[in-house]
A and B are shown apart, each in its own frame.
Chain A
Amino acid sequence: MTIRYLLFVTMRNVQSSIAVLLAASICLGVALFSAACYLERDSLASVYFPTWAKQTKALIAFSKKPNEKDLKEVIAKIHGTRWVKSYHLVEGKDVMELLKKKLAVLDKTLEDMDPAFFPDIMELSLTDHCLALPGRCESFLRDLEKIRHVASVYSPLPWIKTAYDKLQVLRRLLLFAALLLSFVSLLMAGVGVQLSLGKYRKEAYLWNLLGASPWFMRFPCYGQVCLTFVVGVATAVSFPYWFSEIVCFSFPTLLLRGFLIASGVFLFALVAVAEANFRRARKMVSGDDGSWEK
């Protein structure tokens, strides 16, 4: 009964300031999203990289057909590192077949060639870490070149590193947006609480007189602010989703950690807003200011 009554009052308050609540939520959502992206410094790149870029591959070309021992050495080097997801060996003649398929025009020329001319190639599927830290991954790959019989390692990482550096500008913009919007959303959450205060001022006054506990008095303020938070989080989570749908980007699972951090900070700030407004409200409803006109 008590809970139902409190929910009723809270929902009625929310109704009276629904526009502000929505605006505050959306602001909060965008702020949360920006903050989360900013906090995910490492994975920011992978958040924004399209799906095809996430299937980044590097190629190890051998100068001559590697024997068991050579392969073992290479595999020992790459196995279990954070950079390489999987690997498989493509023999020279398969490389030739592949090329034949792809480049039908050159069929004749390829026919005449010795399969041994094509080097064996090891194909490495790279992890998201490589996207996040292309510089370090690249130097790891360069290290592989020192192994015997490895002719060279090809990777798109230098290119990705350039793109990643460009993304730093975006990061700064996001930080700016997060700061601005967080401020706006907190302000608006406060306005929402204050707007609805008029609606239940008399009621809260009576609660106070009839011995409602401090938590009972707090509930509507907190409920409203928490609702803002919930809608804000929903906005923030769905925002990158829709964003990625529209621009054909993929869903950022890595966003979660930064997201939790940002959410925690914002929840704290919102609770502070609720408490501040509650204190104002309590001043208004305790003591007799003689405004109980009929």
Chain B
Amino acid sequence: MAFITCQHMYKKYPGTDWIFYNAGLSIEQGQFLFVLGNSGSGKTTFIKILCGQEGYDRGRIFVKNRNFRNIRRKHLHLWRRTLGVVFQDFRLLEDRTVKENIALPLVITGFGKKEVIDRVNAVLKLVDLQHRADVPCKLLSGGEQQRVAIGRAIVHGPELILADEPTGSLDDDHTRRILQLFTTLHRRGLTVVIATHDRRLPLAVKGCRTVMIRDKNFVDVVPVKRANK
């Protein structure tokens, strides 16, 4: 049973050409999926569709065999709780501290105080931000903000991680660390979807699947270097 299935998906914004035209993609449970694509190809749009922020014009999406339109209508907030989304523009609360930003998903879903503190501390360690815990986010560098965004996406133990260019502002060292983090989570059974324009990224993760957005559709590709072997 596929975790998420898109069939004949059509999507356009008002006044634009089709972003997706008859697109189909099936994501298995526990898969590590890279969605590659040039900028403007619709990676962010795809992530937004999956987290219910954008609708789609035609076609069907199933989540664990349930029609996504029904989820969107009735249980959107429950669906969003099972997601960990790293937004391309981070979407942090700038005047709040790193800690408060990371704790937000826990606070709004009613976790207890002790649990919140424990989880936030664990995540701070994972994204290497312990020393910045009480700094307001607006004072952080782009790379640090990105790591806060990643921390916030994983703190509540989501089933599915949707990361939009999660390494866009990171140096090589931190890119490697973050990929390592995603790999660890993947090994624990999470499904990970990473949208990126960086074609080298999939090479760093063993056993991942890579699709490319080409001609308004998803196409399975084999990362370049492995093909060369």
Interface size on A, residues (CB 8 A): 20
Q: What residues on A are CB-neighbors of B79 within 8 Å?
A: 211
Q: Which B residues from 133 to 161 make CB contacts under 8 A with A?
A: 152
Segment of A70-78, A199-207, A267-275 engaged in the interface with chain B: A199-207
Chain B residues with Cβ below 8 Å from A288 are 48, 53-54
B104 and A210 contacting across the interface, CB-CB below 8 Å: yes
List the one stretch of B2-10, B109-117, B197-205 in contact with chain A: B109-117
Please tell me if the beta carbons of B81 and A209 are within 8 angstroms of each other in the complex: no
Q: Does A106 contact B (CB under 8 A)?
A: no
Q: Smallest CB–CB gap between B74 and chain A, Å?
A: 11
In the complex, are the beta carbons of A210 and B113 less than 8 A apart?
A: no
Instruction: Knowing A1-B113, A2-B107, A287-B54 are in contact, say whether A211-B80 is a contact too (CB < 8 A).
Output: yes
Q: Does A294 contact B (CB under 8 A)?
A: yes
B93 within 8 A of A: yes
Total residues of chain B contacting the partner, CB 8 A: 28
Q: Are B107 and A211 in contact (CB under 8 A)?
A: no
Chain B residues, Cβ within 8 Å of A205? 91
Q: Determine if A209 and B112 form an interchain contact, defined as CB atoms under 8 angstroms apart.
A: no
B89 in contact (CB, < 8 A) = yes
* Interchain CB contact under 8 A, B80 and A210: yes
Q: Kindly state whether residue B187 has any CB partner on chain A within 8 Å.
A: no
Contact B51 A202 (CB under 8 A): no
Q: Are A211 and B94 in contact (CB under 8 A)?
A: no
Residue B61 CB within 8 A of the other chain: no
Q: How far is the CA of A206 from the CA of B81 in the complex (A)?
A: 12
Query: Are A211 and B53 in touch, CB under 8 angstroms?
Result: no
Would you call A213 an interface residue if the criterion is a C-beta within 8 Å of the partner chain's C-beta atoms?
A: yes
Q: How far is the CA of A287 from the CA of B14 in the complex (A)?
A: 14
| Nearest CB of A to B227, in Å | 37
Determine whether the beta carbon of B53 is less than 8 Å from that of A209. yes
Annotate A194-226 by CB proximity to B: 1 below 8 A, 0 otherwise. Answer: 000000001101111111111010000000000
Given the interface pairs A2-B107, A2-B110, A288-B48, the reply to whether A209 lies near B54 with Cβ below 8 Å is no
Over the window 263-294 of chain A, the binary record of Cβ atoms lying under 8 Å from chain B Cβ atoms (1 yes, 0 no) is: 00000000000000000000000011000101
Query: Known contacts being A1-B112, A1-B116, A287-B53, is A212 close to B93, with CB within 8 Å?
Result: no
Asked if residues A212 and B53 are in contact (CB atoms below 8 Å), the reply is no
Among B48, B108, B116, which residue has its beta carbon within 8 angstroms of that of A211? B108
Contact A214 B77 (CB under 8 A): yes
- Mark each residue of chain B from 48 to 76: 1 if its CB lies under 8 Å from any CB of chain A, else 0: 10010110000000000000000000000
Q: Once the chains bind, are A292 and B81 in contact (CB under 8 Å)?
A: no
Partner of B77, one of A203, A213, A287, A294: A213
Is A159 part of the contact surface with B, judged by Cβ < 8 Å? no
Instruction: Tell whether, in the assembled complex, residue B53 and residue A203 are in contact, meaning their CB atoms are under 8 Å apart.
Output: no
Chain A CB count within 10 A is highest, among B83, B89, B94, B104, for: B104
List residues of chain A with CB within 8 A of the CB of B53. 209, 287-288
Asked whether A5 is an interface residue with its Cβ less than 8 Å from the other chain, the reply is yes
Q: Are A212 and B48 in contact (CB under 8 A)?
A: no
Q: Which of A139-159 touch B at CB < 8 Å? A: none
Contact B89 A294 (CB under 8 A): yes
Closest to A203 in B: B93
Q: Give the residues in chain A near B104, CB-CB below 8 Å.
A: 206-207, 210
Question: Within 8 Å CB of A1, what residues of B?
Answer: 106-107, 111-113, 116
| Complex CA distance for A21 and B191, rounded to whole angstroms | 47
On A, residues with C-beta under 8 Å from B are 1-2, 5, 202-203, 205-214, 216, 287-288, 292, 294
- Identify 15 new A-B residue pairs, CB closer than 8 A, beyond the known A206-B104, A288-B54: A1-B111, A1-B112, A203-B93, A205-B91, A206-B91, A206-B93, A209-B85, A211-B78, A211-B81, A211-B83, A211-B108, A213-B109, A287-B53, A287-B54, A294-B89
